[in-house]
Structure 1
Amino acid sequence: MKKNKFLMYLFFMLVGILTLGFASTNEAAEKTYKIGTDLTFAPFEFQDSSGEYVGVDVDLINEIAKEEGFKIDLRPLGFDSSIQGVQSNQLDGMIAGMSVTKEREKTFDFSDSYFDGGIQMAIQASDNEISSYDDLSGKTVAAKVGTQSASFLEENQDKYGYSIKNYDAADAMYNALNNNNVQAIFDDYPVLGYAITSGQDFKLVGDQQESNPYAFAVKKGENSELLKKFNAGLKKLKASGKYDEILNEYISTGSDNATTTSSSVSEMKKITPLKDSYTVVSDSAFAPFEYEDADGVYKGIDVDLLTRIAELQGFTLDMKYIGFSAALQSLDSGQGDGMIAGMTMTDERKANYDFSDSYFDSGIQLAVAEDNDDIKSYDDLAGKTVGAKVGTESSDWLQSHAKEYDFDVKNFDTADQLYDAVKVGSIDAMMDDYPVIGYAINQGQALKTPIERESGGQYGFAVKKGSNPELIEMFNEGLKELKQTGEYDEIVNTYIGNESSSENSNADSVDESTIWGLIKNNYPALLEGLWNTIVLALVSFALALILGVIFGLFRVSPIGWLRTIAGIYIDIIRGIPMMVLAFFIFFGLPGMTGITIPDFAAGIITLTLNASAYIAEIVRGGINAVPVGQMEASRSLGLGYNKTMQKIVLPQAVKIMIPSFINQFVISLKDTTIISAIGVVELLQTGKIIVARTTQSSYVYLIIAIMYLVLITILTKLANRLDKKVK
C-alpha cells in the first residue's frame, strides 16, 4: 500500500515537472516585451489620422520583432515616463529617438545605432537673406529647451552674434518662425525634414552639424537577450533594404517640399483620448467667451470652440463653469483636467501650466460714456480717472502709462462694477478686452470707443504642467481643422461680428433692459438659485445644530479633556475666515488627499463647520445662564450630572438659546453668498451670471436684494412663531 502511494506521488511529481517545463518553454516562445516610446516626436513616433502610432521608431521595432520572432507591447508614455518605466522595471526597453550620451550609458545599455542624427538650421522658404551662419548676426534664432540644438546655439552665440530664444515645444517654435518672431530655428534635421514634408513653408540651409546617434535602450545589466535580438534584426533590415524604405517614407531632405500635396497639409491628426471623460473648468461669466443665455444654457466663443473640438477629436467633455479664480485653483488641485476661460498666456502662467496654440489674439481698448465728447485721445485723460479690472492686461497697461498721460487708475474686481462706475460717472473712462467691450455695447451699454485698440496677449487652452498632454494635442489638432474649414471664423463672428447684437436680441423674447423684462426672462434661473440657497442654509444649519450642541456640551463638561477639545475646535473654526475655509475644503483637501469634493458638498461642509462653532458658544452661554444653584440643588438631592442636565438645566437653557439660534440661522443664510466663490450657483452667483449676459447690474442686484429680504423676513417670522410655541 505504501509502495503504491509512493509511486502515485512520484507519478504526479513527474507530470508536474513536465507540465511546468512545457509551460516555461511555451512562455519563453511567446514572450512579449513591453517597449516604451514618446507620445509625439515626429517622424520617429506619432499618431496618424486613424489614431495609430507610426514613425521610424515604431516601424523599425515592429519589423525587428517580426524578423527575430518576438512580440512587443508598445506603450506611448512620453520620453520622461519611458525612461522612468525602464529604470523601475515596468518596461523592458524603450525606443524614442534617444541620443546615446555618456551620462545615459551609466544607467542604460544601448543597441547599435539605428539612426545617426544631426542638427540643422531652417528659415522661411521666402527668406533669401540667410544662407549661412554668418548671416545670423543681429538676428534671433530659436531652439527647443534642453536639446542639442540649444546647446549648439549657446556655444556659438558669441561667434555669430545672434540672440537666442528657447521654446518648450516644436509647434511654438514653428509658429515663431512663421510669424517672424525669430528668423531661424535649429532642430534635428529629420524632424525639420518631416515638418517641411507636412507643409511647413521652410527650407533647410547651412551645413548639418553632427550629433549623438539614436539607439534602442534597456536597463543596464538587464534584458541583454532583447538587445541582441534588436541588433540582429537591425542588421537584417539594413541588408534587405527595408531599413532605407522606412527612413525614406518619413524623412525628407527638404528639396522636394514643393511636391507636398494639399491633402497632407490639411488632414487633421486624430489623437487617442486617455480618459473616458475630461473635466474642463471655465469662467462663469465672461461674455462673449462664456456666459449663460436666457434659457440657462452656456454658450460663447470658448464653449462653442471646445465643444466642436471634442466632437472632431472624439473625446467626452464635462464642462464646469465655476469662475476664473476657482477654475485656476481647480486646475492646480487636479479637479479639472483642463481650463478654457479667455486665459491670456503669460510667462508667469507658463511656469505652472502647459498651453495650447493661441485660439484668440486679444487686444485692449479704452471706452467712455456714449455722451462723453471730451475724451478723443490718451492726451485728453490728463487729470481724469480710468478704471480696469484687477490683474488684467488693461490694468497693467494703465499703470505703466499713468504718469505719461497724467491720469489716475482705479481697479475693480468684476466687470459689472467697472461698467457701472462709468455709467454713474465715478470714473471718466475704462479699459477692457476689446471683444468684451464690443459685446457690452451690442447688449445696450451706453459706451463708445474713441481710440483704436492696443495689441494684447493671446488666449490659450491650459492644462496643469506635465499633465494631460494628449488633451493639448487634441485641442491643437481640432483648432487647426476649424481654422482650415472656416468654422473658427463663423464661431468668432457669431459673438463679435456686426450682427451679433441683432442675433442676441432676437434670441431673447423679452426686452431685458427693464426690471420686469429681466424678471420675466430669468425667473426660472432666479428661482433655481433661490432654491439652492435655501437647501444650503437648511441642510448646513441642521448639521451645524447637531455638531454645535455636541461641542457646546463638551465646553461645559466637568471632564477637562472634553473642554479642551471643544475649545480648540471653536478657536480654529472661528479663527479662519469662511472664504478661506471654503477654498481649503474645495481646493486644498482634494490636492492633499486625492479625493474630489463636489462644490455643493464643499459648500455645505463649510457652512456647517462655521455655524457649528458659533452654535457651540450659544449652547455654552445658554447653559451658563441657568443659575448655578439649580445644578447644586439637584446634585444635593442625589440626581447625577447627566440627569440634572437633561431634566433641569437644558430645558431652561433651550428657551434662552432659541433667539440666538434664529439669529445664527439668518447669518448662515446670508453666508451662502460667500460659497459662490467656489462655484456653487446659489442666488448671488445666479445674479452674476445674468449680469454677465445682460450687463444690467443695477436691476439684477435690486431683484436679488428683494428676494433675500423677502426670504429672510418669512423665515424669521416662522422662527419667531416657533420660539413663542416653545416658550
Structure 2
Amino acid sequence: MHISHRSRASAARTGALITLLLGFIGMTFGVSALQAHAEGPVEGQTFVIATDTTFAPFEFRDASGDMTGIDMDLIREIAQRKGFNVDIQALGFDAALQAVTSGQADGVIAGMSITDARKEVFDFSAPYFSSGVQMAVRADDSSITSYEDLRGKTVVAKTGAEGLSFAQSIADQYGFTVKALGSADTMYAEVASGNAAAVFDDYPVLAYGIAQGNGLKVVTPKEQGSSYGFAVLKGSNAELLQAFNEGLSEMKADGSYHALLTKYLGSNAPADDAQVEGVQGKTFVIATDTTFAPFEYRNESGEMTGIDIDLINEIARRQGFSVDIRALGFDAALQAVTSGQADGVIAGMSITDARKEVFDFSAPYFDSGVQMAVRADDDTITSYEDLSGKTVVAKTGAEGLTFAQSIADQYGFTVKALDKADTMYSEVATGNAAAVFDDYPVLAYGINQGNGLKIVTPKEQGSSYGFAVLKGSNPELLQAFNAGLSGMQTDGTYQAIIDKYLKAPDAGGSSQSFWGLLVQSMPALLKGLLLTLAATALSLVFASVLGVVFGFLKVSGNKILQSIASVYVDIFRGTPLLVQAFFFYFGLPTALGIKLDVLTAGVITLSLNAGAYMTEIVRGGIQSVDTGQMEAARSLGLNWMQSMRKIIVPQAVKIMTPSFINQFVITLKDTSLLAVLGFAELTYQGQQIIARNFRSFEVWLIVGAMYFIVISALTKLSNRIDRRINK
C-alpha cells in the first residue's frame, strides 16, 4: 500500500519545534477546543479544525493571506449546511495530527490518507477524494513519454509521499534511480533545471503546480492511490463526524461537491460521466458473493440484486461496457479472479493491506462498520463486558470476525467463525451462541427481515469496500469503475442506490405465511431442481462410460492396464469431491490458461468421481460371476472378449444394477456440493432464498422435501427396471 506524503514521520526532526508550537496554540485557543467537546448536537457549536499550511490545491494561503483550497471550502460548506462553526488552525501536517491527539483540536482535514495504521488512532469520515500518482517531465522534453524511457536516469519524489513509494516500487523494473526531496518547489526545480529526468507526485498537486507555471507536463496516466478523509480522535466527536458525512453526502447529491473540485482542479477534477477508453463494447466477467444482503442477493424472481449489483450495472451502462455477473460465494469469487475465471470482483470486499498484495482496488464505494446483536428477547447482554465465558459467532473473512477476535481476550469470550449469515443468526436465535458480530448494514437488513435478533452496541469503525481486479491486470476496467463511481456520487445516483437498500428495506418476507413462502419460492426451486437433474443425468452418462472402460481394465489381467485403472480409482475415491470441484474450476484454468463454465466443471467433477465408484461396481460385478462360467465359455471355443460379452457381462449386469441405482442417488445428492461454485442447482437456490428472507427452517424443509420426493420417485422407477431386468 502506498502511503501519501501526509504519512511522513518527521517527529525526530521537528519534535522540539512542534512542542513549542503546540504550547503556544494551547494557550491561544485551548479553551475553545475544550468547549467544542461538549455533549449534544453540533448545531451552534464551534469546532477547532487543524490543517496543513502548504498543500495546494487542498490547503494554502491566497494572495490575501487567507486559508483556501478544496479542504477549506469543503469543511466550511459542510459547517454552514449542518449549522456549526469552524475555527481553522493552519499548523502543518504533523502538528495538526498532534493537535487532535492532544485534545487541542477537534478534527483534522489536510489531504490525509486513510490507512489502517491511522485508524488505530483516528475515526475517519467517508472518503472525500481519491488521489493517485502521475509522472511529469520538463515541458519541452519529448524524449520521455513512459516509464520505459527512464532507464539509467534519476527521478525525484517527495519524502514520505505516495509518489516516492510508487517510484521506488518500479525503480528496479525500469532501471532508474529515485531521489527524495522535502518540498514540491524543490522537486519541480530539479526537473525544470535538468538535474532530474522526471518527478512523481499526487496528481492534483502536480496538476495545480503545472497550472501555476512550474514548467512541467504530465506524461503518464494516473496510478491508483489512497483516499483522503476528515478525521477525529478515535472514540470522540462522533456527532461531528456524522455531520461531516451527512454534509458531504448532500454536496455530492446536489452537485456542489463536483463544482468545488472543478473550481480548483478544472479539467483534472475526477471524471463525472467521462468514459474511459479501452472498455467500450467489451464484456467483463464479474464475480460476486451469493448471500450478502443487502449488497448482493437474489430477489423473489431469482435475479441478482443489491447495492453492489446495481452499482456495477450502472457503472457499466455509463462507461459503455457489459458485465456477466457470476454469483459464486465470497471465497470462490476471489479464487475466480486469481485463477483468471473472472475479470473483477464486487462482493462487499473490505480493502486491506493483505488483499492489496493480490488485488488492485478501486476507490472505496462504501464505509462499513461492525455491530453486535443478540437474541431479541435476551436482556442479559447489553455490552461486550457481558460476553465473558460465552461463545459468539461471526462470518469467515468478514470485518465482524476480525473485530470480534481483536477483543476476545480482553472480554473473555470465544469466537466461532461461520460462512453464512443465516447460519450465524440461527446460532444466536437457538441459543447456541450468545451474540453475533457482523457488518452493520447486513445485520440491520437481517433484523428487518425477521431473523429474531436485536442490536445492542454502537457501530465500530470499519473498513471501506472496494471493487477489485487481479493485481496488474484490467487497469482500464478499474479506471472505468472509478470514473463511473465519481459520476454517480456527483449526480446523486450513488446515494439513491444506497438509500434504496438501507433506508427502507423490504420487510415483506418476514410476515409471509408458510404457504406464501412456498408459492413464492417454488419457481426458483423448480429451476434449481431441473439443473440438478440435468447435471446428474449428464454426469451419469459419462461416469457409466468411464466405469465400464476402467472396470474392464481392472479385470483385464494386464498389469499395466490394471495399474492405470487403480491409479484413477485411488485418486478420485481418495480425495474429497469438493477439492476436486475446486481443482477443475479454479486450479486447472490457472495451470492451463483455459476457462471452464461452472456446468462444465461440475459435470467433469461428478463424472470422474462417480466413474471411479462405478469402476469398482463393474469390477465387483464381473468378478462376482462364477469363474466356471468363463471356463465353460472358453471350452466351447469362445475367445475372452466373446466370453465376456455373451456370458459374463449379462450376468454381471444383473448383479450390478442395485449398486448402479445407489450410485445414481448418491450423484444426485452430490450435486449440492456444486453450490459453492455458484452452480444454480436446488441447494444453491435454497441458499439464495434464505439470504433474502432468513427463514432457514421453512426453506430447508421445502428443499429437503423436494429432494426426498424426487429421489424416492427415481428409486422406485429404478427398482422397477431392476425387477424387469432380473426376473
Asked if the contact 1:149–1:187 (Cα under 8 Å) also holds between the matched residues in 2, the reply is: no
Q: Aligned letter for 1:102?
A: G
Once the two structures are TM-superposed, the CA of residue 632 in structure 1 deviates from its matched residue by: 1.2
Instruction: Report whether the alignment pairs 1:432 with 2:438.
Output: yes
Q: Which of 485, 488, 493 is matched with 2:494 structurally?
A: 488
Q: Equivalent of 2:145, from 52, 72, 95?
A: 95
Distance 1:480 1:214 in 2: 23
**1:78-93 correspondence runs (5 A):** none
Structure 2 partner of 1:218: none
Report matched runs for 1:86-165 at 5 Å.
Answer: 95-96=145-146, 100-102=150-152, 119=157, 142-147=162-167
1:379 to 364, 382, 385: 385
Pair 365,194 (structure 1): closer, same or farther in 2 beyond 3 Å: same
Describe the shift of the 1:56–1:618 C-alpha distance in structure 2 as closer, same or farther (beyond 3 A).
farther
In structure 2, the residue corresponding to 1:147 is in which secondary structure?
A: helix
Instruction: Report the Cα offset of residue 538 of structure 1.
Output: 1.4
1:621 and 1:98 map into 2 onto residues whose CA distance is 66
Q: State the shift of 1:189 in Å.
A: 6.3
1:436-466 alpha-carbon deviations (Å, 9 max, x no partner): 0011111122221111011111111000111
- CA deviations 1:92-119 (Å, max 9, x no partner) are x972266645379xxxxxxxxxxxx865
- Assess if the C-alpha contact under 8 Å between 2:296 and 2:347 holds in 1: yes
- Paired residues, number: 536
CA contact (8 A) 1:548 1:612 kept: yes
Distance 2:461 2:285 in 1: 32
1:520 CA drift (Å): 0.8
Which range moved further: 520-529 or 275-284? 275-284
In the aligned structure 2, how far is the partner of 1:142 from the partner of 1:679? 39
Contact 1:148/1:211 (CA < 8 Å) preserved in 2? no
2:274 paired with 1:269: yes
> In the alignment, is the contact (CA less than 8 A) between 2:210 and 2:217 conserved in 1?
no
CA deviation string 1:286-344 (max 9, x = no partner): 10001110011211000111111111111122111121111111101111011100011
- C-alpha spacing 1:266/1:723, structure 2 compared with 1 (3 Å): closer
8 Å contact from structure 2 (residues 156, 180) kept in 1: no
Query: Hey, what's the Cα distance between the residues in 1 that align with 2:371 and 2:628?
Result: 74
Shift of 1:678: 1.4
TM-score, normalised to structure 2's length? 0.68
Measured in 1, the distance between the counterparts of 2:169 and 2:352 equals 25
Q: Shift of the alpha carbon at 1:575?
A: 1.7
State the shift of 1:577 in Å. Answer: 1.3
Match of 1:360 among 366, 383, 386: 366
Distance, in Å, in 2 between the alignment partners of 1:371 and 1:484 is 43
CA distance 1:189–1:629, change in 2 (3 Å): closer
Letter in 1 for 2:389: G
1:425-504 matched pairs, under 5 angstroms? 425-497=431-503, 499-501=504-506
Cα displacement string for residues 253-310 of structure 1 (whole angstroms, at most 9, x for unaligned residues): xxx9976559956644320134721111111121000111001121100011111111
Q: Distance in 1 between matches of 2:139 and 2:275?
A: 19
| 1:120 to 1:513, Cα distance in 2 relative to 1, 3 A | same
Instruction: Decide whether aligned partners of structure 1 residues 141 and 628 sit closer, same or farther in structure 2, where only a CA change above 3 A counts.
Output: same
The amino acid of 1:589's aligned partner reads L
1:483 Cα offset (Å): 0.8
Partner of 1:196: 208
**Whole-angstrom distance in 2 between the partners of 1:331 and 1:265:** 27
Q: Please report how far the alpha carbon of residue 411 of structure 1 lies from its aligned counterpart in structure 2 after TM superposition.
A: 2.1
* 1:375-424 Cα distance to aligned partner (Å, 9 max, x none): 12211222322111223221222222122112222222211110101111
Question: Where does 1:546-561 land on structure 2 (aligned, <5 Å)?
Answer: 546-561=545-560
* Aligned-pair CA distance for 1:141: 5.1
Contact 2:156 2:179 in 1 (8 A): no
Q: Which residue of 2 aligns with 1:663?
A: 662
- Secondary structure at the aligned position of 2:506 is classed as helix
State the one-letter code of the partner of 2:679. Answer: V
Contact 2:262 2:269 (8 Å CA) reproduced: no
Larger CA deviation: 553-562 vs 575-584: 553-562
Are residue 399 (structure 1) and residue 449 (structure 2) matched? Answer: no
CA offsets per residue over residues 237-265 of structure 1, 9 Å max, x none?
xxxxxxxxxxxxxxxxxxx9976559956
Give the distance between the partners of 1:41 and 1:709, measured in 2 at CA. 60
Q: In the alignment, which residue of structure 2 is the partner of 1:303? A: 309
1:417 aligns with 2:423: yes
On the 8 A contact 2:285/2:324 being kept in 1, the answer is yes
2:573 aligned with 1:574: yes
CA contact (8 A) 1:101 1:212 kept: no
SS of residue in 2 equivalent to 1:279: strand
AA matched with 2:344: G
Q: Is the 8 A contact 2:311 2:497 kept in 1?
A: yes
Q: Distance in 2 between matches of 1:454 and 1:264?
A: 32
Which residue in the other structure is 2:672 paired with? 673
Q: CA deviation at 1:651?
A: 1.1
Structure 2 counterpart of 1:253 = none
Partner of 1:520: 519
CA distance in 1, matches of 2:136, 2:341: 34
Q: Say which SS state the counterpart of residue 145 (structure 1) adopts.
A: helix
Distance 1:257 1:589 in 2: 49
Distance 1:692 1:348 in 2: 28
In structure 1, how many angstroms separate the alpha carbons of the residues matched to 2:711 and 2:550? 27
CA deviations over 1:165-201 (Å, ceiling 9, x no partner) = xxxxxxxxxxxxxxxxxxxxx96469555443899xx
Write the deviation string for residues 137-178 of structure 1: whole angstroms up to 9, x where unpaired. xxx754442427999999879x99xxxxxxxxxxxxxxxxxx
Residue in 2 that maps onto 1:713? 712
Structure 1 length normalisation: TM-score? 0.68
Bigger mean CA offset, 140-149 vs 389-398: 140-149
Q: Distance in 1 between matches of 2:486 and 2:262?
A: 20
One-letter amino acid of the counterpart of residue 488, structure 2: L
Of all paired residues, the percent bearing the same amino acid is: 43
Distance 2:375 2:725 in 1: 58
Q: Residue type matched to 1:437 in 2?
A: L
Q: Please state how far the C-alpha of 1:43 moved relative to its aligned partner.
A: 7.7
Is 2:157–2:180's contact at 8 Å kept on the other side of the alignment? no
Q: Give the structure 2 partner of residue 346 of structure 1.
A: 352
Q: How does 1:10-49 map to 2 (within 5 A)?
A: none
Once the 2 structures are TM-superposed, how far is the Cα of residue 42 of structure 1 from its aligned partner? Answer: 5.5
3-state SS in 2 of match to 1:285:
coil
In the alignment, what sits opposite 1:599? 598
Equivalence map 1:526-675=2 (5 Å): 526-675=525-674
